[in-house]
Homo-oligomer: A and B are copies of this chain.
Amino acid sequence: MFTITELSTERINRIVQEALGFAEGKTARIEGDVFCSNLFFEDSTRTKTSFDIAERKLGLQVVPFDASNSSVNKGESLYDTVKTIESLGVNLVVIRDKKDRYFDELKNIKIPVINGGDGTGNHPSQCMLDLMTIYQEFGKFEGLKVGIVGDVKHSRVANSNAEALRRLGAKVYFSGPEQWFDEGALINGTYLSVDEMIHEVDVLMLLRIQHERHDSKMSFSASEYHRKYGLTKERERAMKKEAIIMHPAPINRGVEIDTDLVECGRSRIFRQMQNGVFARMAILKEALEKEGYTFK
């Protein structure tokens, strides 16, 4: 699984339902010795650990892979590295890489490749956990209003989520510094100011401010961002009664969200992390079943 675009809404729904089953206590354990490895060429403790635990819960054997010491650093191509891992007998890999659509180079790899995030492009497992968290709350997608605040254009999460939500029947709004939104960023939603949006939405998704990526564009300080676009206590009070707050984490406390709201009643931020393991179990199980592996 590389992108959300390639998934039919039927398949998305099937994975969401499987993930919800795991959240409710369903278990699945693979039969036989099956090996997987998480090739993370870009740091992400959260996503990597989430996959790692999902894999172990399914009974897979997780073969460690240290990207920082790998031959990729000696100039080996991604294809040759993955082909090596496949030759060594690993039965499935999860890959995160800085390069957009790195998976286009991997057509001749025969084992399943799960996309753990590519460049600024896709992050389908994060998308599935976000969808699952929304469904868990509202029991549907159709007719929901979802607001996404932040640098939508450069966010893997926002792109995948907005597209999927639109296809599933939700209405998507975007907000954040206007200079971050041009036509390309608004394919799957409509721009609103944060204060217009806050009264409307059932789901408020805050994106992480990527200081790393905005050095030149960031023309405001953290506290200025918070005041203009962040979730302050006042804004939280203006939200609809049943509305929930989401954030892919790691959080910049006091920037995207007031520190006291991180664990408030309508925050689903740590619930998202819990759900991440279940969503990834569903994704992995689907990929392995397609290869003929069985679970008990």
Contacts and interface: CB of A to CB of B under 8 A. Distances in A.
Contacts of A69: 43, 45, 68
A133 to B, nearest CB: 12
Indicate how many identical chains form the complex: 3
Contact of A56 (B46, B61, B271): B61
Interface string A132-166: 00000000000000000000000000000000000
Contacts of A77: 253
B70 A63 contact: no
A61 B49 CA distance: 13
B250 A83 contact: no
A187 interface: no
- Size range of the interface on A? 35 or more
A49 B70 CA distance: 10
A66 B46 CA distance: 11
Contacts of A65: 45, 49
Contacts of A249: 71, 80, 84
B89 A274 contact: yes
A48 to B, nearest CB: 8
A8 interface: no
Contacts of A45: 65-66, 69-71, 81
Interface in A231-249: 249
A33 to B, nearest CB: 7
Contacts of A89: 53, 57, 274, 277
